[in-house]
Amino acid sequence: MSLNTTFRGAGRRSGPSVLLLIPALLVGIGTCLPVFWLVMRALEADPAELSAIVFRQRNLLLMLNTMKLVAVVLAIGTAIALPAAWLVTRSDLRGRGVVSFLMAMPLAVPGYVMAYAIIGMSGYYGFAKHWFGITLPPLRGLWGAGLALSLYTFPYLFLNLRSAFLGMDPALEETARSLGQSRASIFRHVMLPQLWPALVASWLVVGLYVIGDFGAIALMRYEVFSYAIYTQYSGAFDRTYAAWLSLMLLAVTVAALFAQHAVTRNRRFSRTGTGSARKAQPMPLGRMRVLAWGFVALVVIASLGMPLLVLAHWMRLGLPQMDWGHLGQTALATLGTAGPAAFLTVLLAVPVVLLILRHPGPLATVIDRLAYLGYATPPLAFALAMVFFALQAVPFFYQSYAILIFAYVMSFLALAFGPIRMGLLQIGARQEEAARSLGATPLRSFASVVMPRLRRPFVAGGLLVFIMVVKELPITLILAPTGYTTLSMNVFGRTNEGMMAEAAPFALSIILFSSLFVGLFLKYESKSDRQKAESSPR
């Protein structure tokens, strides 16, 4: 027999194809670009200037202000989200489904629109004066920004805490009660320790968002990192200092990311063994019911009613001079970049997710992390880095749609991963292998067997990105080509100049689009819950 032990061709792994590697490489480079260019720009300062910049006392103030803002937002957010989550999971409050929905809805009112509403309450023509005859002092600075951001972000806390409550084994509370513990003691010693991981994890998510937010704090004129970066960039034109501030902001973000990683990893361990718990016996509220409803009403009025009423009030005032044509044009222009950005993001996400799922290894892990880093990078720092990059490396792209869309794609890529990852996991690799054993090439197998079934996740991922781009402010503000304006830029620009009536229609349009986002978010939240329930007994 001619065939002895031959090693021809053996031992060679068929690695990921170039079709997967090139997109992954693009993502790797794209998400690392900001850091690289910020460092490049920051190092342009001469050594004497450098120490003056880095050790400026103002930096400490900015840091302190940022921390204060984070603390205020988390405190207000938790004060709302924790009782609300308890009410909808553990009490006998009626209409818990509706309450849950209402508590998630404020996600549709972006921070800068919330800020707009708070600012629009006060003032001579303001909502409060017009309808109630009360002249409210303008709420600005720390408390204004804190309120705007916490009213926008508390739903994240709420949704996380809600699923933590749902995942908790009620037998533990019942045991504690049978051991004669008071309700307060049970909450402190039994429930809180179990909620803790979910609480800390969602604090970090919200904290990350607050650190990176720009719109609300700029409208409230509260001096934190991103506001300082913007004023340095747009006013003083001290770009070296802006680069340094961006790097500091980035460092805070990366530190928070590491903390988040550590916490979520621990959470996975602490949750094992809960199994499929029984549903908790709802606790009768008794006379506290009135208090509970009062609380829910207050939260809904503040987070949904107030912005909508204030917007309606200013819409009414502005209606006579309303420029419908301009609104339509702006909406179309917004969609004009959001559409391509969403499409390209999903197109890029598919090969990258494929690489992560089908070729797990160090490369895949790094790309996955980098995509998430791109998402977590404060958008203002990201945009600024893109400016430096464009000016120095590709000047013909400066202030072009290409750079703007590239920035959108890199910062929202991780968002599209979710639905596509879930879709690919559900389809699995079997069908493709079957197609290949029938003689189809890998490309044809993927195109004919996987692609048709990936349509829904493709659309869902695209919509998520699309709506995020519509809401997006800082990247758009800094990278927009001359003469190009979006809905969010109009809200920001006009509110900044006190033109509340003119800003209202743009803000309402954004809320309309964002409601779509919340709908999608809730849909995917419940879907992943179901998956968790299916896999947990094992």
Residues that bind another protein (CB under 8 A): 1-14, 430-431, 433-442, 445, 448-449, 452-453
Distance CA 49, CA 105 (A): 48
Q: How far is the CB of 422 from another protein (least distance, A)?
A: 17
Cβ 272 to another protein shortest distance, Å: 24
- φ and ψ at residue 91, rounded to 5 degrees: -100, 175
Question: Would you tell me how many other CB atoms lie within 10 Å of the CB of residue 397?
Answer: 16
Q: Rounded CA gap, 21 and 361, in Å?
A: 13
| Whether 247 contacts 53, CB under 8 Å | no
Nearer to another protein, 449 or 469 (CB): 449
Encoded amino acid at 522, one letter: L
Alpha-carbon span 381 to 223, nearest angstrom: 16
CB 229 within 8 Å of CB 380? yes
Residue 294 or 428 with smaller CB distance to another protein: 428
3-state secondary structure 441-489: CHHHHHHHHHHHHHHHHHHHHHHHHHHHHHHCCHHHHHHCCCCCCCHHH
Q: Note the Cα 392 to chain centre separation in Å.
A: 30
Q: Among the residues of 43-56, which ranges form H helices?
A: 47-54
Nearest approach, Cβ of 9 to another protein (angstroms)?
A: 3
How distant, in Å, are the alpha carbons of 141, 154, 352, 476 from that of 73? 13, 8, 35, 25
Please say which residue, 5 or 178, places its beta carbon nearer to another protein: 5
Nearer to another protein, 9 or 235 (CB): 9
Of 5 and 321, the one with the shorter C-beta distance to another protein is 5
- Report helix, strand or coil for 408: helix
Minimum separation from the CB atom of position 115 to another protein (A): 47
Cβ of residue 535: shortest distance to another protein, in angstroms? 18
Minimum distance from CB of 19 to another protein (Å)?
15
Cβ contact 145:139 at 8 Å: no
CB of 354 to another protein, least distance (A): 16
CB of 7 to another protein, least distance (A): 7
Give dist(CA 70, CA 206) in Å, integer: 8
